[in-house]
Structure formats: structure tokens, C-alpha cells
Chain A
Amino acid sequence: MDLKELYQDLILDHGKKPRNFGKCNSANHDAKGHNPLCGDNIHVYLNLDNNKKVKDISFEGSGCAISVASSSIMTEIVKGKSEKESRELLNSFFKMIKEGDEIKKVGLTEDEHIKFSSLAGVGRFPMRVKCATLSWHTLRAALDNEKKPINSEIID
């Protein structure tokens, strides 16, 4: 297990300077996520337009580099995708992290594919998987309009 694989420059960059941070305007879906064990908190906001497309997405919260980077990268990838595509992406994400599956390039730009795949290394650090999955669980909750905060300790 190489630490460089986990803490790639891309991840460190997103961890330090998260994109789409804050509450986005016109959010019509949102959900909260929490990991009571480590104290990570996230609030995902998104605007799903009439065509069921994620017009805008953002997040607020605090956590480790993995958690913040995963949230930041998630918002960049999901923005502009349809609800169906977003759900497929989050399922691919869990398969990548938990089962080591490679991310298919279909439907993703080269840049999106690189960003998405940069999180794959987390799967080799079992104690850190929950850090990476919290935001994606919370995205699903936001799409589902789930009002109860997500607890990643219980889910994963």
C-alpha cells in the first residue's frame, strides 16, 4: 500500500481547495450526512431541473482530505448529468471503492474519468473507505429527498 496512491496530488488539491463549496442557489434537493465515529459532516445541495438533470450541485461540511476531496470531485462529475446518470455514477463509485471495479469511460470526459479514478486507491485502505463514501451516500439521500441524516457508520 503506497500512500502516494491514496494521497495523489489531485486529491490533495481538492482536499485543500474544494470546488462547489457552499450552498448553491436554487437548491431544491438537499441531504445531510454524518460519520459519528470521526465527526465528519456533510450537507449536499442540488438543483434538479424539470428534465431531471442536475443543474447545480454543491456541498458544505468538514472532514479529512479524503472526505473533502471525494465530495468536491463528486460535485464536479455529477454537475450536468441526469438523475439516472448520477445514480449510475454513484453505484459505479461504490463498486470501485468496495469491489475494486474499474470505472468505465462511457459518459465521462477524459478529465472526469481521471478525477473519478483518482479515488480508487481509497479501496486499499479499508479504515478510510467511509471517509470517501459519505458524500456519495448523501448524494443518493438528496436525490431521494431523504430527510433523515445519513450515518455512514451504519450504512458501510
Chain B
Amino acid sequence: MSLKEIKSKFPIFKSNKKLIYLDTANSAQKPKVVADVMDDFYRNKYSNIGRGVYSLAGIATEAYEQSRLTIKKFVNGIEGEIIFTKNSTESINLVANCFSKFLKEGDEILLSEAEHHSNYVPWHFLRKNKVNIKFIPLNADGELDINKINSLVTNKTKIISIIHISNVTGHTSPIKKIIEVAKLKKIPVCIDGTQGVGHVNVNLKELDCDFYAFSSHKMYGPAGVGLLYMKNKWLDQFDPFLGGGGMIQNVDLKNITYASGVSKFEAGTMPSAEVVALKEAVQFIDQLKIKNIINHEQNLTNYALDKLSKINNIEFVGTPSLKSSLFSFNIKGIHSHDVSTVFDQDHIAVRAGHHCCQILHKKMNIVSSIRVSFGIYNNQQDVDALCDSVKKCKKLFKLN
């Protein structure tokens, strides 16, 4: 499929002809097929899943479970299961909450300074149990200082939870190395893969982490669905996260027994149409082939970095060597929100602010930044327009 053809699959660019969407890391736009399948599901196939014994309920349940299998295959999660949640945030909250029963006073959790708030706040909650949180530091380039890991991992370290790809710098964390160190000490590892799936190759069998959290809406699927890959052994060891319908085996006045497997973690009515449509998004990515996506997004990132670095007063937030499909910067002397307003006049959508990463921004001695993130629908003209708008911004603010 040519680039032009790919873009034509996304209706948003038909109804917003001038839109230059550089905010895929925030949420990806949806291909028509995803919207169509959701529409078809609600119009023609809808009933709640896992409840009724009538045919329609059977069809809906089958479609929902097929989506789970497709995703599992897509990330090669054969040593575990895929649990559906609300979003990546809920996926990590589930892990932190369920894991807390294994923690006692003085135990340690290892994170990094690059974490999105969603991979810090859920662990912060556990501080009330007097557990300590340690952070792998970032160096000036915005890379995880992996040499520190051996001194940070102690006999008290009970779990490590690390961002796969930074949602600010685009840095790819050395997760293989971290998992290798953790394995030697039998420490489980959780990976926040929110910016990973759909932009890099994710092979969970090979990666061998215990948990991998990701999100449907960042990979061209509907919003409202998060995913959590969990290795099989934890399915039994964890108690349920949320209680309600669908997660029980038997309930009486005194005792309750829980469902087994993934059902134990999917309480209440699930967003079935969204889950079913997510399968289409996965197939869409699969059809394009992840290696082509990586190639396309890397080329665009390199093109943008090269072009922007030729403009005076551009300050990048970190300059990591391993970069994914996003990066952040500031125009020296202009606040990111002012920049974003100028961009908006040129129909350019970027994220401005701290991107839910206040620790990283503080480490870099800045309050906020502009983030540019690419998806499969972007092209070089988008980058050219961005650079023109940067120049316009500088002129308006009387900068050289």
C-alpha cells in the first residue's frame, strides 16, 4: 500500500482536509475499517458477551474471544494471557494492586525516571505499606543509565516496572538487559508498552517479561480498551482486582469463589464492540507489516530531527541514540502552549505540556515541551509544514 493509500484509509483526513496530525502518541487516528466494524457490531451483532445462552450472545462472545486470540498472536504472548482493561493505566494499576500482597515493609520497587505518571502513581500508592521506590536515573541525553542497575537491584527488590518507549524523548529503554538482570535474581518485570505496540516489533515470548501493558487507542484501535499481558503463573497467584459480575465462579451468603483465567480479571460488562474492532486495527498493522511501519516512522523522525536542528533556538528534550517515532522540543524563549496555539492556526496538532512525565521534565530542568509523534499516515510534507510553523512562531515572538 502506498503512503497516499494508507492515509486515504483514515476518514479523519477526509473530514479535516488541512489536518496535520502529529499527536499519535497521545491517541492514534482510526482507520475506516475499525469504525465500520464497531458500527456493524452495534447494528447487527450486539448483545452482551459471556452472559446469555442465546445465539446472538454466542456470536458476540466468539467475536470478543477471537480478538483476544488475534492480539495474543500479534505480540506472541504464548506464555501468558491477554486481559482486557479500560486502558494501559488500569493495566498497570491491576499489576501494582494485585502484586501488593507479596510486599512487606522495606521491600523495594524499581522504576525509572522516564516513567509516565501511569507507571509511577500506581506504585506510589504502595508506599502506604512502607515499601520504597527506587528509580533508574536518566542521563543528560534522556537515556536510562543502565550501568546503575546492578547497584539499584538489591535483595529487597521485589518487582521492576519500566517504560518500553519514552512518551517524551522516544528513547527505547534497554528492557532486554533489565529483564536479563531481573531473571538472574528471579524478580518479575512489568513493561509499560503503551508507546511500543504498533511502532516497534513486540515479541513477548522472546522478551520474556511477566507483564506487558498496552493500549488499543494508541495502536489505531478504539479508545476504552487497555490490554495486559500476564504470564500464566500470575493468573492463579493474583487475587481479583475488581469484583462484580463475570469474575465469579460461585457466590453464597458467606463465601465466594472466583472464576479462573482471564475472566477473574474482567469484572462487569466489557466494551465488547471496541474489543472486536481492535482486532481490525491489529490486522491493519499486520497487513502493512511492522517492519515497513518502523522504516517509515524512523525515516520521518530522522527527517524531522535533521530539518528542525537546522533552525536556531530549537532545544530537544534529550537526544537518545535509540529513538522511536516521537521526540520533544522547545523553542527557546517561547512557552510550549504558545507554540501549540500558533501550530493550531496552521492545523498542526501536537501535544504541549509535561506529557504526564513531570519527573523527566524536572530532570531536564524544563516545565513543559512540544511533542511531535508520528503515525503511519504522516509524510514529509507534514514535517515541512511543522518547520514552517516553527519559523512563523519565532517571527511572531520576535526571535532570530
Chain A residues within CB distance 8 Å of chain B: 1, 3-4, 6-7, 12, 16, 37-39, 62-67, 125, 127-128, 131
Query: In whole angstroms, how far apart are the Cα atoms of A92 and B338 in the complex?
Result: 25
Q: Counting CB contacts under 8 A, is B341 at the interface? A: yes
B398 and A12 within 8 A (CB): yes
Q: Counting CB contacts under 8 A, is B50 at the interface? A: no
Query: In whole angstroms, how far apart are the Cα atoms of A99 and B304 in the complex?
Result: 41
Q: How large is the interface on B (under 10, 10 to 19, 20 to 34, 35 or more residues)?
A: 10 to 19
Nearest B residue to A41 by beta-carbon distance? B367
A39 and B341 within 8 A (CB): no
B354 and A39 within 8 A (CB): yes
Partner of B353, one of A37, A62, A125: A37
Nearest A residue to B354 by beta-carbon distance? A39
A7 and B353 within 8 A (CB): no
| Known A63-B335, A65-B334, A65-B335: A39·B342 in contact at CB below 8 Å | no
Query: In whole angstroms, how far apart are the Cα atoms of A6 and B341 in the complex?
Result: 10
Query: In whole angstroms, how far apart are the Cα atoms of A39 and B344 in the complex?
Result: 20
Q: Counting CB contacts under 8 A, is B368 at the interface? A: yes
A1 surroundings in chain B (CB, below 8 A): 345
Q: Counting CB contacts under 8 A, is B337 at the interface? A: yes
Query: In whole angstroms, how far apart are the Cα atoms of A37 and B396 in the complex?
Result: 25
A12 surroundings in chain B (CB, below 8 A): 397-398
Most buried by B among A4, A37, A64, A67: A64
Query: In whole angstroms, how far apart are the Cα atoms of A65 and B339 in the complex?
Result: 10
B33 → chain A, closest Cβ, in Å?
31
Nearest A residue to B345 by beta-carbon distance? A3
B358 surroundings in chain A (CB, below 8 A): 39
B357 → chain A, closest Cβ, in Å?
11
B352 surroundings in chain A (CB, below 8 A): 38
A128 surroundings in chain B (CB, below 8 A): 337, 341
A67 surroundings in chain B (CB, below 8 A): 335
A127 surroundings in chain B (CB, below 8 A): 341, 344
B337 surroundings in chain A (CB, below 8 A): 38, 64, 66, 128, 131
A7 surroundings in chain B (CB, below 8 A): 338, 396-397
| Known A3-B345, A12-B397: A39·B367 in contact at CB below 8 Å | yes
Given contacts A38-B337, A67-B335, 16 further A-B contacts (CB under 8 A): A1-B345, A3-B342, A4-B396, A7-B338, A12-B398, A38-B353, A39-B353, A39-B358, A39-B367, A62-B367, A64-B336, A65-B338, A66-B337, A125-B341, A127-B344, A128-B341
B233 → chain A, closest Cβ, in Å?
39
B335 and A64 within 8 A (CB): yes
Identify 25 residue pairs between A and B in the complex whose beta-carbon atoms are under 8 Å apart, listed by A's number. A1-B345, A3-B341, A3-B342, A4-B396, A7-B338, A7-B396, A12-B397, A12-B398, A16-B333, A38-B337, A38-B353, A38-B368, A39-B353, A39-B358, A39-B367, A64-B335, A64-B336, A64-B337, A65-B334, A65-B397, A66-B338, A67-B335, A127-B341, A128-B337, A131-B337
A64 surroundings in chain B (CB, below 8 A): 335-338
Query: In whole angstroms, how far apart are the Cα atoms of A65 and B341 in the complex?
Result: 11
Query: In whole angstroms, how far apart are the Cα atoms of A1 and B346 in the complex?
Result: 12
B389 → chain A, closest Cβ, in Å?
11
A4 surroundings in chain B (CB, below 8 A): 396
Query: In whole angstroms, how far apart are the Cα atoms of A7 and B352 in the complex?
Result: 18
Nearest B residue to A125 by beta-carbon distance? B341
A6 surroundings in chain B (CB, below 8 A): 341
B 308-352 contacts with A by CB, 8 A: 333-338, 341-342, 344-345, 352
A127 → chain B, closest Cβ, in Å?
7
B80 → chain A, closest Cβ, in Å?
36
A3 and B396 within 8 A (CB): yes
Top 7 A-B pairs, shortest CB-CB distance: A64-B335, A64-B337, A65-B338, A64-B338, A39-B367, A39-B354, A38-B353
A3 surroundings in chain B (CB, below 8 A): 341-342, 345, 396
